[in-house]
Structure 1
């Protein structure tokens, strides 16, 4: 009996590696990894593990159609940061939205496709009635909206909302800075220090159990179901202090104004919108209610399957 093909977008990134690790453990699948550079050291490492590495560009739908040929499962994700760094937040948002639509059109054109596992985020603008419009959320939501216009593809799709990465501490607007005179790390922000982070932590390790459960329970997870990939909820300042404690240090959150944030982090402060928004909805799951999404509990995932928050923070490296 011939094997099925699981195709993973962003194969050398953290989410992609999480999905690859899952499907490499499933003998019924051949694993295909899509990357922009099939000759990179990370791509060569995947080849050594038995992954078929294919070069394709999310900005070029034609290359995706070729890369998806014969696929039964596609794990899809887009990355806002490259476009943001090169072109700014608005253009970066639009680039990511079009990349998502390219993936959707190419997936729709793949006759063998059974399941699209789509890593995404919701619209902060819709949820907040226009108060916030966090660009790294809005581009993804534009792709979600497009998938929902394609009934055949929607029937095969799982939307996976991926929670707060530990690596977000590397963004300038969240980055702890060591202040020698204070003998502690400091984060300066204008957002609610108690803003609830729906937290996944080490995404490379903690997304895998979700991907595995989604793939194994298609009757529950397809048809546009929303899976919320998180392991904990925690306030921003509490997480900061917990990270510092894991490093044997102390940390403090220093509150400032929106205007000063704009001076300190001119473009990056737009990414801080996500924490301002989370502060407004700190008693909810990003405004979602229980029963509106599938959690790890709903999917039967044991909490012991995840890397704990303390372990994740202990090994987190902030550049």
Structure 2
């Protein structure tokens, strides 16, 4: 009997990592065994993974030694970091702090260190053949220094760190996950205005800004990682997989959402100063990323023309959950 290839999935209880686990568990070849490092092995989410046959191990992402132990024996590793969770924790630790840049940069520094910790642990994993890192574009470099959102730069620093390690870079696939449908239930949630009988979505960037969307992250993201893992000769060596299921504009996305919920909605662009003086810190930081997308719109925010998409990977996109169907599942 051929031994299964061990894939260690960081963030297995989250949207991206959870989707990777889902797809690897239902992989037709049944060639993978899955390990999930977590800080809370006794949590309900971790126990649910264990019940599905996933090996759950305890590991703090801030502890390189624990990560090395968690990665030991891995054929492949999927790694993801969570800026928004760290940003929330940073705000809780600094009550009353109003400087969004200060807090965002603190969270970004922690995210970068966690990313580098995982890289160091991966380098020490002598069985490793494939390292898949969920990351984002290098906004600062692509924009010529005009844009540097902390939640982009924190990941870009880890990408550069991998580029400084040729042996790991040769085994690495970078994966960019596009716009989440769930943003419409949080950072970009339309607001109902009873006086006009419809919803409005307030943004800083224009409605014709191009956007690529993953839709339901949990339903769709994992297929890209599974396909990349199955085609290492195509995806390793520092190649980038751009995970999306549909392209549209910000205004078009709002109309898809409105149609999904059988309501009327209007896109409202306001000044940057007005938005930043009234909206939450999370929305302000998120908007920095949106401004970057608008700045390099002709490059579809990727800044490169040789990324790998679903067509290159042979993914049947019609089998994915559409953006409209993804929006239908969100409460309004």
Task: State the TM-score, normalizing by the size of structure 1.
Answer: 0.95
1:214 aligns with 2:216: no
Residues 16-47 of structure 1, C-alpha deviation per residue, up to 9 Å, x if partnerless?
11111122134222111122211111111111
Which consecutive unaligned segments of at least 5 residues does structure 2 have? 91-102
Listed one character per residue, the Cα deviations across residues 164-212 of structure 1 (whole Å, up to 9, x for unaligned) are 111222444x221111112112222221222111211111111122112
Aligned to 2:311: 297
- The 5-angstrom pairing of residues 262-301 of structure 1 reads 262-268=276-282, 269-290=284-305, 292-301=306-315
The answer to which of 155-164 and 251-260 deviates more is 251-260
SS at match of 1:272: helix
Of 47, 56, 75, which aligns to 1:53? 56
Distance 1:266 1:308 in 2: 29
Partner of 1:252: 266
Deviation at 1:272, TM superposition (A): 0.3
Check if 1:6 corresponds to 2:7.
Answer: yes
Contact 2:296/2:303 (8 A) holds in 1: no
Unpaired segments ≥5 residues, structure 1? none
Asked if 2 retains the 8 angstrom alpha-carbon contact of 1:35 and 1:43, the reply is: yes
Tell me the number of residue pairs that the alignment of Structure 1 and Structure 2 aligns.
316
Equivalent position of 2:127 in the other structure? 112
Q: Are residues 123 and 181 of structure 1, via their aligned partners in 2, closer, same or farther at CA, if it must alter by over 3 Å?
A: same
Q: Which runs of 4+ in 1 moved over 4 A?
A: none
- 1:11 deviates by 0.7
Structure 2 distance, partners of 1:300, 1:210, is: 10
Determine the structure 2 residue equivalent to 1:89: 104
Q: Is the Cα contact below 8 Å between 1:209 and 1:305 reproduced in 2?
A: no
- The Cα offsets for residues 101-127 of structure 1, whole Å up to 9 and x where unpaired, read as 011000000111110111110121211
Query: What's 1:98 paired with?
Result: 113
Q: Structure 1 residues 287, 3: CA separation in 2 closer, same or farther (over 3 Å shift)? A: closer
1:287 CA displacement = 4.4
Quick one: distance in 1 between partners of 2:230 and 2:18?
A: 18
User: d(CA) in 1 for partners of 2:185 and 2:179?
Assistant: 12
**Does the Cα contact within 8 Å between 1:115 and 1:157 map onto a contact in 2?**
yes
Distance in 1 (CA, whole Å) between partners of 2:206 and 2:61 is: 35
Deviations, residues 70-120 of structure 1 (Å, cap 9, x unaligned)? 111101100101221232211111111111101100000011111011111
Preserved contact between residue 202 and residue 307 of structure 1 (Cα < 8 Å)? yes
TM-score norm. by structure 2 comes to: 0.91
